[in-house]
């Protein structure tokens, strides 16, 4: 086997004429950003919005079964405990967005730092860090996440950190590859010959160049983290005693009867989760083609 | 390299399980904390002896590795430790493997024609529509796709059974796996399609394609005979890489369709804090993952002789 890591992929560049002809982010990008801003808004101001209490049981006397379909009073209907699905979806965005944001921030910081150091100093530092990334990538991410949630607690911050650890290796590899690409360029040599120290070269010369492809990865990585959190929540392994989209979907689909008779319980959170992940993916992809990032490793 | 990697992976997993978790507590429950009671102390001593917990960590790791290599993955924590982990997994692994093979098969069979159609009509309406579809499939989390397909094809249309039944005859069980297979295969197909399409478009601009075209070779023949093979390199790598992600996806799919494979077993074991089972599954999955990547390297040199150095 070659000494080069066996899991490296160079995903081919977009076809000529695909992106080169038009160098704008496009209307789709801004629609996606708009949706994400709406999500952030409702997550931040969930308690102030004029929506029903997500934990209140809306049981009316003389009614068969607590769960009802969408109506003017309950836009997304009510679930098996007669709680408002719309309000719960709004509150569910809090966990998803927090986890997504903290996870990718952690991944960017740790992975980015390790990757840049590995790419800049090379030698044994590179070998150690690259091996670390390789070990992390040897676990399918959901398996690693499940294992860690089993060992640690299920607080919001812990879950975010666990998913952050998963982001370290892909981010680190991208940062390493990009740093290597720039480390021998003229402007770095120029800075060095002017007497710049390593620290200055890394922060002032390399970091701005590495940050661009990483910004595309940030959006894609956030999507991955949100999906992973949803998966954990769906399996009952995410943040305890909180409203999560994954948990709501699980509630709406745990028996085929529920799914058949009250599909709205599962399908509204699925829809919102899908739109959010789609918006992040699409925006991330646009940013990537816009800056013409050649390599992804996610 | 692969051996070093597996060593690091297993040491890390084993270490994390034993340092972060409390194995004794997981075996005995509250009794493990009750050191004042002589009866509990006796049980604690017995458990420590049975599970080698009184030995230092490196020794326990050594014992575990030598057992694992010989196919003995220890006894389950909790209850009476029956059946042994190896027996339990021997029964469940084939189901997951079947599901994964089915998923990959569906993914490859769907993505190749899909990519050929898209690439031959690059940037036309069909191609744009299919790109939009791939975006949607990739953005749909596995459990969401599982529920949607289950709702549409199993509940509304009634074409497929709702769940998997382990006691049915083989052919029925394979049929029951079909819908779960699609849940695993479709998102993978979307990833493969995107990649293969891009590579095909690049290949189609090569001189030898122009040559073939000027000789009057028909369009389908150019696509299949001339363009496909040189476009397959990154496709094959990604098929291998994606296997890991599919194992993750199968955890969720097995839960939705109630397939007792290793994915759903992992979740149950985690909820029960049954470390030997978790450890064995994580190690099997990681080993399989590393070996698949090794295999990809080999396949790669076969289809692309240029890699030989």
Tens of pLDDT along A105-145?
999 999 989 998 888 888 888 888 888 888 888 887 888 88
Q: Domain residue spans in chain A?
A: 26-41+73-297
Is residue B71 classed as helix, strand or coil in its secondary structure? coil
Question: Does A240 touch chain B if contact means CB atoms closer than 8 Å?
Answer: no
Residue A9 pLDDT more than 50?
no
Cβ contact (<8 Å) for B238 and A9?
yes
Q: What is the pLDDT of residue B32?
A: 64
Measured distance CA(A243)–CA(A95) in Å, rounded:
7
pLDDT of residue A105: 92
A223-242 mean pLDDT? 85
DSSP string across chain A? --SS-TT---PPPPPTTTSSS--S-HHHHHHHHHHHHHHHHHHHTTTTSS---TT-----TT-SSS-----SSSTT-B-TT--BHHHHHHHHHHHHHHHHHHHHHHHHHHHHHHHHHHHHH-HHHHHHHHHHHHHHHTS-HHHHHHHHHHHS---HHHHHHHHHHHHHHHHHHHHHHHHHHHHTSHHHHHHHHTT--HHHIIIIIIHHHHHHHHHHHHHHHHHHHHHHHHHHHHTT-SSTTS--HHHHHHHHHSSHHHHHH-HHHHHHHHHHHHHHHHHHHHHHHHHHHHHT------
A162-215 pLDDT, tens digit per residue, is 899 988 988 898 888 888 888 888 888 888 888 888 888 888 888 888 888 888
Identify which of B139, B147, B251 has the shortest CB distance to residue A253. B147
Inter-chain CB proximity B251 and A9 less than 8 Å: no
pLDDT in tens, chain B (309 residues): 778 888 888 888 888 877 776 666 666 666 666 666 777 777 777 777 666 677 777 887 888 787 777 777 666 766 555 677 777 777 888 888 888 889 999 999 999 888 888 888 877 888 888 888 888 888 888 888 888 888 888 877 878 777 777 777 777 777 778 888 888 888 888 888 888 888 888 888 888 878 888 887 887 778 877 778 778 777 877 887 787 778 878 888 888 888 888 888 888 888 877 777 888 888 888 888 888 878 877 877 776 666 554
Percent of chain A with pLDDT over 70: 83
- Give dist(CA A73, CA A83) in Å, integer: 12
Q: ∠ CA A262-A268-A271 to the nearest 5 degrees?
A: 135
pLDDT > 50? residue A295? no
Beta bridge partners of A78: A84
What is the greatest pairwise CA distance in chain A? 84
Give alpha helix (H) positions in chain B.
Answer: 2-20, 23-28, 38-50, 57-69, 85-120, 125-139, 142-149, 170-204, 207-214, 219-221, 233-256, 262-272, 275-303
Q: What is the dihedral of CA A19, A22, A23, A26, to 10 degrees?
A: -100
Query: Could you say which residues from 244 to 263 on chain A have a Cβ atom under 8 Å away from some Cβ of chain B?
Result: 246, 249, 253, 256, 259-260, 263
Locus of tokens 């069909």: B126
pLDDT value at residue B118: 86
Do residues A146 and A162 make contact, with C-beta atoms less than 8 angstroms apart? no
Residue B289, CB half-sphere, CA atoms under 13 Å: how many?
Answer: 28
Query: Over pLDDT 90: what percentage of chain A?
Result: 5
Q: What is the pLDDT of residues B290-306, one digit of tens each?
A: 888 788 778 777 766 66
Q: Tell whether B116 lies on the interface with A, counting CB pairs under 8 A.
A: no
| Interfacial A residues in 116-155 facing B (CB < 8 Å) | 131, 134-135, 138-144, 146-152
Give the chain A residue nearest B288 (alpha carbons): A138
Give residue A293's pLDDT band: very low, low, confident or very high (50, 70, 90).
Answer: low
The CA distance from A143 to the nearest CA of chain B, in Å, is: 6
Token duo for residue A125: 């530092």
Flag if B135 and A246 touch (Cβ within 8 Å): no
Nearest-5° angle of CA B208, CA B214, CA B219?
Answer: 80
| A256·B245 Cβ contact <8 A | no
In A, which residues are within 8 Å of B290 by CB distance? 138
Residue A298 above 50 pLDDT? no
Cis peptide before A35 (omega within 30 of 0): no
The rounded distance, in Å, linking the Cα atoms of B144 and B39 is: 50
Q: Is A295 on the interface with B (CB under 8 A)?
A: no
Q: Does position A8 have pLDDT exceeding 50, yes or no? A: no
CA–CA distance, A145 with B244 (Å, rounded to integer)? 13
- Angstroms from B246 CA to nearest CA on chain A: 8
Closest CA–CA distance from residue A238 to any residue of chain B (Å): 12
Judged on CB neighbours under 10 Å (0-12, 13-18, 19+), B69 is: exposed
Q: Which of A230, A260, A216, A270 has its CA nearest to residue A19?
A: A216
Please check whether residue B119 is in contact with residue B222, taking contact to mean a CB–CB distance below 8 angstroms: no
ipTM for this prediction: 0.81
Beta carbons of B147 and A281 less than 8 Å apart? no
Distances A90 to A35, A49, A141, A159, B3 between C-alpha atoms, Å:
13, 9, 27, 20, 48
Predicted local confidence at residue A2, as pLDDT: 40
Please tell me the distance from the alpha carbon of residue A188 to that of residue A182, in angstroms, as a whole number: 8
Domains and CATH numbers, chain B: 2-69 (no CATH), 89-303 (1.10.3720.10)
Q: Whose structure tokens read 């399409």?
A: B197
Residues in chain A: 298
Cβ B255–A234 below 8 Å, yes or no? yes
Q: What would the mean pLDDT of A250-260 be, rounded to a whole number?
A: 76
Cα of first residue to Cα of last residue in chain A, in angstroms, is 23
Closest B-chain CA to A275: B139
* Partners of residue B238 in chain A, C-beta under 8 Å: 9, 11
Superfamily of domain A26-41+73-297: MetI-like (1.10.3720.10)
Tell me if B271 and A236 make a contact (CB, 8 A cut-off): yes
> Could A6 and B136 be called an inter-chain contact, meaning their C-beta atoms sit closer than 8 Å?
no
Q: Is A2 on the interface with B (CB under 8 A)?
A: yes
* CA neighbor of A225 nearest in space, from A297, A283, A141: A141
Which pTM does this prediction carry? 0.82
Please provide the average confidence, as pLDDT, over all residues in chain A: 79
Q: Do A151 and B21 touch (CB under 8 A)?
A: yes
pLDDT for the residue numbered A23:
65
B residues 10-39 lying closer than 8 A (beta carbon) to A: 12-13, 16-17, 20-21
């Amino acid at each position: 086997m070659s000494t080069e890591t066996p899991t490296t992929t160079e995903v081919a560049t977009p076809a000529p004429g695909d992106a080169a002809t038009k160098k704008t982010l496009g209307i789709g990008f801004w629609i996606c950003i708009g949706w994400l801003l709406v999500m952030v808004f409702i997550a931040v101001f969930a308690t102030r919005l004029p929506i029903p209490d997500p934990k209140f049981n809306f049981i009316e006397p003389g009614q068969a079964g607590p769960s009802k379909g969408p109506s003017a009073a309950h836009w997304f209907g009510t679930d098996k405990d007669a709680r408002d699905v719309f309000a719960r979806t709004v509150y569910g965005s809090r966990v998803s967005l927090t986890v997504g944001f903290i996870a990718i921030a952690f991944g960017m910081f740790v992975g980015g730092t390790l990757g840049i150091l590995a790419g800049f100093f090379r030698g044994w530092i590179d070998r150690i860090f690259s091996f670390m990334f390789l070990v992390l990538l040897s676990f399918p991410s959901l398996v690693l996440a499940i294992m860690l949630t089993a060992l640690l607690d299920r607080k919001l911050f812990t879950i975010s950190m666990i998913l952050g650890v998963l982001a370290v290796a892909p981010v680190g590899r991208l940062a390493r590859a990009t740093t290597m690409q720039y480390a021998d360029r003229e402007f770095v040599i120029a800075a060095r010959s002017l007497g710049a120290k390593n620290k200055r070269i890394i922060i002032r010369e390399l970091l701005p160049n590495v940050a661009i492809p990483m910004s595309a990865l940030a959006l894609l990585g956030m999507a991955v983290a949100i999906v992973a959190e949803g998966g954990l929540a769906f399996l009952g392994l995410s943040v305890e005693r909180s409203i999560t989209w994954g948990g709501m979907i699980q509630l709406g689909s745990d028996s085929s009867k529920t799914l058949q008779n009250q599909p709205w319980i599962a399908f509204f959170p699925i829809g919102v989760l899908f739109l959010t992940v789609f918006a992040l993916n699409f925006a991330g992809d646009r940013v990537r083609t816009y800056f013409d990032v050649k390599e992804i490793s996610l | 390299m692969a051996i070093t990697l597996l060593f690091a992976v297993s040491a890390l997993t084993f270490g994390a399980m034993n340092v972060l978790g409390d194995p004794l507590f997981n075996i005995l429950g509250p009794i493990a904390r009750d050191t004042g009671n002589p009866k509990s102390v006796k049980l604690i001593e017995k458990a420590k002896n049975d599970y080698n917990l009184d030995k230092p960590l490196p020794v326990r790791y050594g014992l575990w590795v030598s057992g694992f290599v010989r196919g003995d993955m220890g006894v389950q924590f909790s209850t009476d430790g029956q059946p042994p982990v190896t027996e339990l997994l021997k029964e469940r692994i084939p189901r997951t493997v079947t599901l994964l093979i089915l998923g990959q098969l569906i993914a490859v069979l769907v993505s190749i024609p899909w990519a050929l159609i898209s690439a031959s009509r690059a940037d036309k309406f069909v191609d744009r529509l299919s790109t939009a579809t791939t975006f949607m499939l990739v953005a749909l989390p596995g459990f969401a796709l599982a529920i949607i397909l289950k709702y549409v094809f199993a509940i509304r249309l009634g074409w497929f059974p709702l769940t998997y039944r382990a006691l049915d005859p083989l052919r029925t069980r394979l049929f029951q796996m079909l819908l779960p297979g699609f849940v695993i295969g479709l998102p993978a197909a979307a990833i493969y399609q995107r990649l293969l399409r891009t590579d095909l478009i690049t290949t189609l601009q090569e001189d030898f394609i122009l040559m073939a075209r000027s000789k009057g070779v028909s369009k389908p023949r150019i696509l299949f005979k001339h363009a496909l093979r040189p476009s397959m390199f990154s496709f094959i790598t990604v098929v291998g890489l994606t296997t890991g992600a599919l194992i993750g996806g199968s955890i969720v799919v097995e839960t939705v369709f109630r397939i007792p494979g290793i994915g759903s077993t992992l979740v149950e074991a985690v909820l029960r804090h049954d470390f030997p089972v978790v450890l064995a599954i994580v190690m099997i999955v990681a080993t399989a993952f590393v070996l698949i990547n090794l295999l990809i390297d080999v396949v790669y040199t076969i289809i692309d002789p240029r890699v030989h150095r």
